[in-house]
Amino acid sequence: MRVLPQKPQTTFRTQNQKVMVRQDKITYLITAFKNEGTEYRHRNEAPLECLVRTVLSQATNDGNRDRSYAALKARYPDWGALAKASLPDLELTLRSGGLARRKARTIQAVLRWAQANFGSYTLDPIAKWDTPRLFAELTKIPGIGVKTVAIVACFSLERAVFPVDVHVHRVLTRLGVTPRKLNPDQTFRTVDPFIPFSRDAMLHLNLIELGRHYCTSRQPKCSVCRFGEICDYFLQKNDWAVK
Ligand code: SF4
């Protein structure tokens, strides 16, 4: 089996910490998924739209996220109106997706940041930034974390970045690709350089699906999961076996 070339290190990594990444399992997953799940509906979305949609996706499903986004677009004619909206009105608009207050504050912080840095409500200029700068600058915005920036980098800017959310983190950890002791951001920093070029989005989307439908937080459906034979959790090969 041909192993695809590794990409150069495009993001920061865990410093002074030796951790093992099971590249053989990454290759196994990529081979098993082939090109499934590559039809991401919002690919090539402008960075601001992608970032706002990602904020709206926090702690809810894709349907609620899209309904919240549609509600925003219907309520406010443009980004300027949204930036100047009263917080209670914005919260009311976002109420169906949950965490409305936090999401409203974050979205308005993003818009204020865009206006202050670029003179208008756009994030298009970030397309010219290199990937480390993307992470360094965007995570300064209150409410914007590493995962959100990684999603914008991967899906809107098509950078070689592999986003790790809670589902991806849980699955990678149970499989034994990365150690259990890491949190999602540490897992991202650790595993990202090992994901081959052009497989980032496909692997991310498929692991999310696996995490939502099989490798659920409680009572994973190991008996019908196709990755049991390489899974540390299922094979009880490490401390995941302590249930
Ligand atoms: S075998 Fe079980 S724990 Fe392992 S990836 Fe599949 S569902 Fe998750």
How far, in Å, is the centroid of ligand 1 from the Cα of 197?
A: 25
* Residue 103 near residue 59 (C-beta atoms within 8 A): no
Give the pocket of ligand 1 (CB within 6 Å): 171, 174-175, 214-215, 220-222, 225, 227-228, 231, 233-234
- The tens place of each residue's pLDDT in the chain, 243 residues long, gives 334 444 544 444 444 456 788 999 999 999 999 877 666 655 679 999 999 999 999 988 888 999 999 999 999 989 999 999 999 999 999 988 788 899 999 999 999 999 999 999 999 999 999 999 999 999 999 999 999 999 999 999 999 999 999 999 999 999 999 988 899 999 999 999 999 988 999 999 999 999 999 999 999 999 999 999 999 999 987 777 655
- Whose structure tokens read 């930034």? 129
Mutating to test ligand 1, I would choose from 214, 226, 230, 239 the residue with most ligand atoms within 8 A of its C-beta, which is 214
- What ligand 1 atom has the least distance to the C-alpha of 221? 7
The token pair at 71 is 């509600």
For residue 116, the one-letter residue type is A
| Residue pLDDT, tens place only, 195-242 | 998 899 999 999 999 999 999 999 999 999 999 999 999 998 777 765
Per cent of the chain over pLDDT 90 is: 75
Instruction: Write the CB contacts of 64 (distance below 8 Å, at least 6 apart in sequence).
Output: 96, 97, 98
DSSP 194-224: GSPTT-HHHHHHHHHHHHHHTS-SSS--GGG
Q: Rounded distance, CA 229 to CA 24, Å? A: 13
Residue 59's pLDDT is what?
85
CB atoms within 10 A of CB 234: 20
Domain 23-35+161-241 has CATH 1.10.1670.10: yes
Which residues in the chain are classed under CATH 1.10.1670.10?
23-35+161-241
Fold of 47-156: Endonuclease III; domain 1 (1.10.340)
Residue 24's pLDDT is what?
93
Which residues in the chain are classed under CATH 1.10.340.30?
47-156
Residues in the chain, total: 243
